[in-house]
Copies of this chain bind each other. A is one copy, B any other.
Amino acid sequence: MIRRARGMRDILPEDEIERKRIISIIERNYQEYGFDPVSHPAVERLDVLEAKSGEGIKTEIFRFDDGELGLRFDLTVSLARMYSENSGLPLPFKRYAIEKVWRREEPQYGRYREFTQADADIVGSSSMRCEAELIACACNTLADLGIKEYKVYVNNRKLLNATLRHIGLDDARIDTAIRCIDKLDKKGKAEVVKELAQNGITNGGEIVDAFTKGIEYYEQIEECKEGVDELKKLFSYLEMYGIRNYEFDPSIARGLGYYTGPIFEIKSADKQLGTIAAGGRYDGLIGIYAGQQVPAVGISFGVDRMANLFKKENSSRTYTDIVLVNVKEENIKACINYAKKMREKGVAVRIDLMERSMKKQMEYASAIGAAYVGIIGDNEEKSGTITLKNLGTGEQKNVNLEDAVKIIKGETRAKSV
């Protein structure tokens, strides 16, 4: 049998409706926080994709057969490349993008090679107000999503770099060490020390210890001053936004190669949900494409895992509010007419498109998960009414069209647009 490509999936209505609900909440928050939408091309030149991506991601790029093009693995690289081609934009440039990205990873249960990122980025400002604005926006989004138990973990790449240099690592080994430290949370201390040793870094114990200290430790290291000052500034802005549930965590590292300043992860108390949003400052990335340094900072929500986990609670299998059932073949004209009027009022309606019996039509309404059926026979046609049946409660009554619309709109779920 011919089938879908490995690691790819179709998102069927049950999942897609929930995914769209989550996306629309994120999108509304991005808009309220003053971000405007941009859509980037899925296909980018390989030299763009590989310029500053870090070694890990290069092996995961979907490459085309011309040897010149690939699919984007995130939206930040496209933003940086885009900005370099549109340098006249008023700064700060605040853009959001909610689009799919592709990585040729080994597929796992619930993890696909295509997934959706919902990003907001601020280009052109070095102020810590940007980081605070992004974190505040994310916290508000979480509240709207009904996620109450979470914490914002904040670190600064400048601290990571300065501390590792202070301990005595050279630049080449700093990148390796950061990749190892990034796993501290998941793998634990012993495993990370072992991994550091495997990479030729023998003072792993000292390194790991450094990244479990409080901010006071870093304040005493001269090379860390800039990074500490930035974080203090950021924390004071977070307080202005009324955000209290943040925490300095020196072990937060973020995998991607392009971060240069503050980095942050928002983690749910629910371990299954894990990291909901994450981001950081990448003041060096745009410069690679634009030829001049342009500061920038961004945040990204992973939509898919949320959609998977929320599905059970909010599951709505269809947007369709009502299935209109024609009792006899001749009643189809009335059904079409009623459907037209209800749709004009914003009700989502299906009619019988298979010329089936009334019984089959009723079964179909249940099968798709519609909230109501509206039965239309000769009596209803004559009196201009419909017999409205609530499929949840089984309750049934004869009402005119106007009342039917009121009942349906009052009780059924909201559309996505």
**A16 cross-chain contacts in B, Cβ below 8 A:** 36-39
* A213 interface hit (Cβ, 8 Å): no
* A362 interface hit (Cβ, 8 Å): no
* A33 interface hit (Cβ, 8 Å): yes
Smallest beta-carbon distance A402→chain B, Å: 17
Q: Give the contact stretch, choosing among A87-95, A222-230, A250-258.
A: A87-95
* A85 interface hit (Cβ, 8 Å): yes
**Of all chain B residues, which has the CB nearest A140?**
B343
Using known A-B contacts A31-B415, A32-B346, determine if residue A37 contacts B20 with beta carbons closer than 8 Å.
yes
List the number of copies, as a whole number. Answer: 2
Residue among B51, B68, B114, B351 making CB contact with A2, cutoff 8 Å:
B51
CB <8 Å contact, B337 and A240: yes
* A267 interface hit (Cβ, 8 Å): no
CB <8 Å contact, B43 and A102: yes
Smallest beta-carbon distance A63→chain B, Å: 5
CB <8 Å contact, A81 and B39: no
Interface secondary structure of A, over-half rule:
mixed
A59 to B335, CA, bound (A): 46
* A350 interface hit (Cβ, 8 Å): yes
Give the interface size bracket for A toward B: 35 or more
CB <8 Å contact, A24 and B114: no
* A242 interface hit (Cβ, 8 Å): yes
CB <8 Å contact, B5 and A44: yes
- Which residues 41-98 in A have Cβ within 8 Å of B in the complex? 41-45, 47-48, 51, 62-65, 67-69, 71, 78, 81-82, 84-86, 90-92, 94-95
- Which residues 331-351 in A have Cβ within 8 Å of B in the complex? 332-333, 336-337, 340, 343, 346-351
Residue among B92, B351, B354 making CB contact with A91, cutoff 8 Å:
B354
Using known A-B contacts A2-B45, A8-B41, A40-B10, determine if residue A34 contacts B349 with beta carbons closer than 8 Å.
yes
**A242 cross-chain contacts in B, Cβ below 8 A:** 340
- Which residues 138-193 in A have Cβ within 8 Å of B in the complex? 140
**Of all chain B residues, which has the CB nearest A137?**
B343
Q: Which residues of A contact B (CB under 8 A)?
A: 1-5, 8-13, 16-17, 19-20, 24, 27-28, 31-45, 47-48, 51, 62-65, 67-69, 71, 78, 81-82, 84-86, 90-92, 94-95, 100, 102, 113-114, 122, 124-125, 127, 129-130, 133, 136, 140, 237, 240-242, 288-289, 291, 318-320, 323, 332-333, 336-337, 340, 343, 346-355, 364, 367-368, 415-417
